[in-house]
C-alpha cells in the first residue's frame, strides 16, 4: 500500500512525521501525472502546489478552519488529501472527481470556484461571518476558533475583485491568511505592472535582505507602526522575511516572503507562525508551475490543462510528447480567421484576457504586437480598453470565454452598448464545455447580452460560417456584436461556400424543404421546422437524416438570436408548421425565448413552438458528448423532440414540464 492510500483524511497526514511528507508529495505527483495523462485535466497548476497543499493541511485543520481557493483548478492535491483518492480514476466525469472544488463531494470544499479573483473577498466574508457568530479565531478570547486561509495565484491577484478584496482585508481586526502562490505564470505568462513587480521581488529580495535592519526599516515607512507591532508578535522565521516595502503593506496587510514553496519544513514553520497572527497577513510563496515533470516545467502553458498524452523517449530527439488530435477546433479556426482580418485591415485590433492559447489569439499576439493585447485576468479592463479603441475609430475584437464574459457585463452595458460603440465579442467555449463542468459552461451569454438595445448576436455552426460571421461583424459599425462557438471540433457537413450573413436572416440548410415551393412530393409542407442557433444545427441535420421517410424536417441555421428572422417565424407559424428551437444555451432568456417573444409581439399563435436547450439546472462535469446527450442536444435527443412535436395534437393543452432536480455526482458524497 502506498503512503497516499493510508491517508483517508488530513488527520492521517498530520500523524506522519515531517520527514515522511516528501514521500506523500512524490506519491501525489505520480498519481496526478498518471491520471491526467490518461484523461486530460489541469496538470501544471496542480504539480506546482503539492508541497504547499501538504503543508497547509499539516498545519491547519480545514475540517474546522476555512480554506478558500481562488482559482479552483489547483485543487487536485487538496482533494487527494481529503479522502477522494478513489474518485481520481474518473477525474472530470460524473462518476468521479470534479476538476474544481465541489461542495457536493466533500465538506472540505467550501465553494465551487472556477473564476479567478474571488478568493480574498469570500475569505473576508467568512472571517467577518465567523467573528460575528463568535466562531472566529482570537489568540486571547477564542484560541480554538476558526482560522481563515485563501490560496491566490500571482496572476489572479491583479484581478479587480481581488484588489477590492485586499482593500477590505486590510480593515479586518482578526486573523486571515492570504497565500500568494507566485509561479510566474497564469495559464500563460502573466501580464502587467504587478507581474513585473513580482519579477523584481524574486530577483532582489533574499532572506538576508529582509532580516538585516528589518526593525529599523519598519519604523521609517508609512504604516510602520502596525508592521512593527506585527514584527514583535511574529515568530523568528516570519520576522526574518517581513517585507516593509511590499505593496501589500499599503493595504494594511503584513507581508512575509518570498519563501520556497517546495521545501515542506520551511513552509510548515512559516505557516505555523502565520496561523497564530491576530491580523491579516500575506505569505508570498515561490513555486514552479509543473514541478516534478520536466516537460510541464519547460512548457507550463501547454501543460496547463492538456488532453490525454503520452511521454516517449527517443534516442535522437529526446523526450517527446504525443497528444491525440481531436480534429480542427473552433478555436484554431477563429485564430486563423482573426489573423486574416488583421492582415486585411490595419484598423482591426484584438485582445484576450490571459487566454491566448485558449482563445486562439497567440498567433495574432506574435504577428501584430502593436495591435493585439493580452491584459491578464482582467476581463472588465479588457472590454473597457476595447471601448476606448473603438472610440478612436479602430475595429476591436475581444476574444474571451463565454463564462468569463460575465465578468465584463457591466462594461458591455455601460461603455460599449450604451455608447453605441462597435466592439466585437468572440465567445469561445459557448455552451456545454465538458470536463470543466458547471463553473465553466457558457450558458447565459445570449440571455445577458440580448437585454442590451441594438446588440447583434450571432452564432457559428462550422468554420465557414464562423468566418462569415466575423466578416459580418467586421463590417458592422452600429454597435456591439457577438459570435459564439463551442469547445469542439468544426464540422465538415457543409462543404459548399457559406453565404454571407445578412442582418436578422436565417439560412435554410435543407433546400428541398424551402417554403416557397416545399419541394415535397405531392406539394406538402414540412412536418416540423427546426430553428437552430449555433452548432445544434449540425446535430439537427443528423436527426433529420435519421427521421427521413418518417417525417419531413426543414432545418434552419438561425444565425441570429438578436435580431431574429421575424419574417421566417411569421411564415412558419401562419402556415401552421410546428417549430422546434434549438440552442446550446439556457432555455431561460435564450434564442427560444426570443422566438416566443417575437411571435407574441406579432400576435401569432406560438402554441406549437417548442423550446429546447440547456435545462434550468446545473450540468456537472463529464465529456461534452455525454453532457449534450444528457440534455437532449445530440442527434438522438433532437429526433425525440421532433417526434413529440410532429405527433402532438395542436388542439390538446400542453403539459406543464416537471422541474428538473439539480444533478448529483454518482459518488453520492455530500
Q: Encode 458-495 in three state secondary structure.
A: EECCCHHHHHHHHHHHHCCCCCCEEEECCCCECCCCCC
Q: Is 499 helix (H, G, I), strand (E, B) or coil?
A: coil
> How large a percentage of the chain has pLDDT more than 70?
84
Q: Is 515 exposed, middle or buried (0-12, 13-18, 19+ CB in 10 A)?
A: middle
- Evaluate whether 354 touches 373 at the Cβ level (below 8 Å): no
User: Which three cell numbers, joined as nine digits, stand for 613?
Assistant: 436547450
Q: Is 377 exposed, middle or buried (0-12, 13-18, 19+ CB in 10 A)?
A: buried
pLDDT for the residue numbered 225: 47
User: Which three cell numbers, joined as nine digits, stand for 492?
Assistant: 465538415
State the Cα–Cα distance between residues 519 and 511, nearest whole angstrom: 8
Which is more confidently placed, 64 or 323?
Answer: 64
pLDDT for the residue numbered 220: 42
State the Cα–Cα distance between residues 586 and 275, nearest whole angstrom: 44
State the Cα–Cα distance between residues 165 and 157, nearest whole angstrom: 10
User: Which three cell numbers, joined as nine digits, stand for 480?
Assistant: 456591439
- Evaluate whether 598 touches 569 at the Cβ level (below 8 Å): yes
8 is catalytic: no
- Evaluate whether 365 touches 301 at the Cβ level (below 8 Å): no
- Neighbouring C-alpha atoms within 13 Å toward the C-beta of 472: 27
Give the pLDDT mean for 454-469. 98
State the Cα–Cα distance between residues 570 and 558, nearest whole angstrom: 14
State the Cα–Cα distance between residues 346 and 4, nearest whole angstrom: 56
State the Cα–Cα distance between residues 76 and 101, nearest whole angstrom: 9
Q: Which of 174, 289, 467, 507 is catalytic?
A: 289
289 is catalytic: yes
Query: Which pLDDT band holds residue 308 (cuts at 50, 70, 90)?
Result: confident
Give all domains of the chain, ordered by start, each with its CATH number.
63-78+98-286 (3.40.50.970), 330-484 (3.40.50.970), 509-647 (3.40.50.920)
Q: Is 99 helix (H, G, I), strand (E, B) or coil?
A: coil
- In this structure, the dihedral spanned by the alpha carbons of residues 594, 598, 603 and 606, taken in order and rounded to 10 degrees, is -40
- 29-49: buried (b, 16+ CB within 10 Å) or exposed (e) per residue? bebbbebbbebbbbbbbbbbb
Q: Is 560 exposed, middle or buried (0-12, 13-18, 19+ CB in 10 A)?
A: buried
Q: What single DSSP character describes residue 6?
A: G
Cross-strand partners of 178: 150, 282
User: Which three cell numbers, joined as nine digits, stand for 75?
Assistant: 485543487
User: Which three cell numbers, joined as nine digits, stand for 116?
Assistant: 479567478
State the Cα–Cα distance between residues 66 and 630, nearest whole angstrom: 35
Q: Which of 147, 279, 286, 407 is catalytic?
A: 407
pLDDT for the residue numbered 659: 45
Q: Check pLDDT > 60 for residue 223.
A: no
Q: Is 19 exposed, middle or buried (0-12, 13-18, 19+ CB in 10 A)?
A: exposed
Q: What single DSSP character describes residue 279?
A: S
Query: Which pLDDT band holds residue 153 (cuts at 50, 70, 90)?
Result: confident
**571-595: per-residue pLDDT in tens?**
999 999 999 999 999 999 999 999 9
Give the pLDDT mean for 33-62. 95
Query: Which pLDDT band holds residue 320 (cuts at 50, 70, 90)?
Result: low
**163-178: per-residue pLDDT in tens?**
899 999 999 999 999 9
State the Cα–Cα distance between residues 99 and 107, nearest whole angstrom: 16
379 is catalytic: yes
591-601 helix and 566-574 helix, angle to the nearest 10 degrees: 70
Q: How far are the Cα atoms of 472, 497, 558 from residue 501, in angstroms, in the given order?
A: 6, 12, 11
- Evaluate whether 628 touches 619 at the Cβ level (below 8 Å): no
State the Cα–Cα distance between residues 612 and 645, nearest whole angstrom: 11
pLDDT for the residue numbered 243: 61
Q: Is 444 helix (H, G, I), strand (E, B) or coil?
A: coil
Give the pLDDT mean for 200-213. 40
Which is more confidently placed, 297 or 605?
Answer: 605
- Evaluate whether 619 touches 663 at the Cβ level (below 8 Å): yes
Which is it for strands 528-533 and 395-401: parallel, antiparallel or unpaired?
A: unpaired
Q: Check pLDDT > 50 for residue 661.
A: no
From the DSSP assignment, how many helices (H) and strands (E) are in the chain?
Answer: 27, 19
> Where are the alpha helices (H) located in 290-429, listed in sequence order?
294-298, 330-344, 356-359, 362-367, 379-391, 402-405, 409-411
Q: How far are the Cα atoms of 20, 158, 182, 546, 610 from residue 288, in angstroms, in the given order?
A: 21, 19, 8, 52, 52
Query: Which pLDDT band holds residue 233 (cuts at 50, 70, 90)?
Result: low
pLDDT for the residue numbered 209: 42
pLDDT for the residue numbered 198: 47
Query: Which pLDDT band holds residue 229 (cuts at 50, 70, 90)?
Result: low
Phi, psi of 163 (to 5 degrees): -65, -40
Q: Which of 273, 379, 463, 641 is catalytic?
A: 379
Q: What single DSSP character describes residue 497?
A: P
pTM of the predicted model as reported, rounded to 2 decimal places: 0.84
Q: Check pLDDT > 50 for residue 531.
A: yes
Q: How far are the Cα atoms of 254, 282, 501 from residue 177, in angstroms, in the given order?
A: 10, 6, 53
pLDDT for the residue numbered 451: 97
**69-128: per-residue pLDDT in tens?**
998 899 999 999 999 999 999 999 989 999 999 999 999 999 999 888 899 999 999 999
Amino acid at each position: 500500500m502506498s503512503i497516499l492510500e493510508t491517508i483517508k483524511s488530513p488527520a492521517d497526514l498530520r500523524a506522519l512525521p515531517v520527514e515522511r511528507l516528501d514521500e506523500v508529495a512524490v506519491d501525489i505527483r505520480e498519481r496526478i501525472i498518471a491520471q491526467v495523462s490518461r484523461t486530460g485535466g489541469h496538470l501544471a497548476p496542480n504539480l506546482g502546489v503539492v508541497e504547499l497543499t501538504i503543508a497547509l493541511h499539516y498545519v491547519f485543520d480545514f475540517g474546522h478552519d476555512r480554506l478558500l481557493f481562488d482559482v479552483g483548478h489547483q485543487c487536485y492535491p487538496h482533494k487527494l488529501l481529503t479522502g477522494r483518492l478513489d474518485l481520481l480514476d474518473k477525474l472530470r466525469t460524473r462518476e468521479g472527481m470534479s476538476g474544481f472544488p465541489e461542495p457536493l463531494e466533500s465538506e472540505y470544499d467550501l465553494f465551487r470556484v472556477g473564476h479567478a479573483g474571488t478568493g480574498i473577498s469570500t475569505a473576508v466574508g467568512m472571517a467577518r461571518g465567523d467573528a460575528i457568530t463568535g466562531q472566529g479565531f482570537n489568540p486571547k478570547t477564542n484560541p480554538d476558533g476558526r482560522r481563515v486561509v485563501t490560496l491566490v495565484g500571482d496572476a489572479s491577484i491583479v484581478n479587480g475583485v481581488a484588489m477590492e478584496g485586499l482593500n477590505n482585508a486590510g480593515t479586518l481586526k482578526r486573523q486571515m491568511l492570504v497565500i500568494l502562490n507566485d509561479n510566474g505564470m497564469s495559464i500563460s505568462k502573466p501580464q502587467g505592472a504587478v507581474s513585473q513587480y513580482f519579477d523584481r521581488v524574486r530577483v532582489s529580495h533574499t532572506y538576508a535582505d529582509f532580516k538585516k535592519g528589518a526593525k529599523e526599516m519598519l519604523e521609517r515607512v508609512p504604516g510602520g507602526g502596525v508592521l512593527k507591532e506585527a514584527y514583535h508578535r511574529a515568530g523568528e522565521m516570519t520576522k526574518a522575511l517581513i517585507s516593509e516595502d511590499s505593496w501589500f503593506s499599503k493595504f494594511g496587510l503584513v507581508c512575509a516572503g518570498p519563501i520556497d514553496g517546495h521545501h515542506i519544513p520551511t513552509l510548515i514553520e512559516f505557516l505555523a507562525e502565520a496561523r497564530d497572527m491576530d491580523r491579516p497577513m500575506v505569505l508570498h510563496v515561490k513555486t514552479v508551475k509543473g514541478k516534478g515533470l520536466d516537460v510541464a516545467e519547460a512548457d507550463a502553458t501547454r501543460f496547463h490543462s492538456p488532453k490525454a498524452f503520452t511521454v516517449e523517449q527517443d534516442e535522437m530527439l529526446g523526450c517527446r510528447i504525443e497528444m491525440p488530435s481531436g480534429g480542427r477546433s473552433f478555436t484554431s479556426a477563429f485564430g486563423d480567421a482573426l489573423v486574416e482580418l488583421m492582415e486585411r485591415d490595419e484598423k482591426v485590433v484584438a485582445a484576450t484576457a490571459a487566454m491566448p492559447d485558449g482563445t486562439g489569439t497567440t498567433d495574432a499576439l506574435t504577428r501584430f504586437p502593436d495591435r493585439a493585447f493580452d491584459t491578464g485576468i482582467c476581463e472588465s479592463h479588457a472590454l473597457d480598453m476595447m471601448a476606448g479603441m473603438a472610440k478612436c475609430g479602430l475595429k476591436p475584437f475581444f476574444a474571451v470565454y463565454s463564462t468569463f464574459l460575465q465578468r465584463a457585463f457591466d462594461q458591455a452595458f455601460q461603455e460599449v452598448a450604451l455608447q453605441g460603440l462597435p466592439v466585437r465579442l468572440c465567445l469561445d467555449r459557448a455552451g456545454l464545455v465538458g470536463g470543466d463542468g458547471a463553473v465553466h459552461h457558457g450558458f447565459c451569454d445570449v440571455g445577458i447580452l440580448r437585454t442590451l438595445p441594438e446588440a447583434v448576436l450571432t452564432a457559428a455552426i462550422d468554420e465557414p460560417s464562423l468566418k462569415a460571421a466575423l466578416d459580418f461583424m467586421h463590417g458592422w459599425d452600429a454597435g456591439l456584436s457577438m459570435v459564439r462557438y463551442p469547445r469542439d471540433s468544426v464540422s465538415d457537413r457543409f462543404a459548399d461556400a457559406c453565404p454571407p450573413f445578412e442582418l436578422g436572416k436565417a439560412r435554410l440548410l435543407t433546400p428541398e424543404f424551402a417554403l416557397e415551393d416545399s419541394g415535397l412530393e405531392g406539394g406538402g409542407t414540412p412536418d416540423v421546422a427546426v430553428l437552430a442557433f449555433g452548432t445544434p444545427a449540425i446535430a439537427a441535420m443528423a436527426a433529420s437524416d435519421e427521421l427521413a421517410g418518417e417525417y419531413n424536417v426543414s432545418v434552419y441555421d438561425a444565425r441570429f438570436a438578436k435580431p431574429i428572422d421575424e419574417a421566417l417565424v411569421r411564415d412558419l407559424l401562419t402556415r401552421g408548421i410546428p417549430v422546434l428551437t434549438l440552442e446550446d444555451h439556457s432555455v431561460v432568456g435564450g434564442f427560444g425565448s426570443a422566438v416566443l417573444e417575437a411571435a407574441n409581439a406579432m400576435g401569432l399563435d406560438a402554441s406549437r413552438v417548442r423550446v429546447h436547450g440547456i435545462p434550468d439546472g446545473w450540468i456537472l462535469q463529464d465529456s461534452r458528448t455525454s453532457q449534450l446527450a444528457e440534455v437532449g442536444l445530440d442527434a438522438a435527443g433532437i429526433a425525440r423532440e421532433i417526434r413529440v412535436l410532429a405527433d402532438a395534437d395542436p388542439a390538446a393543452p400542453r403539459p406543464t414540464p416537471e422541474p428538473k432536480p439539480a444533478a448529483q455526482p454518482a459518488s453520492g458524497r455530500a
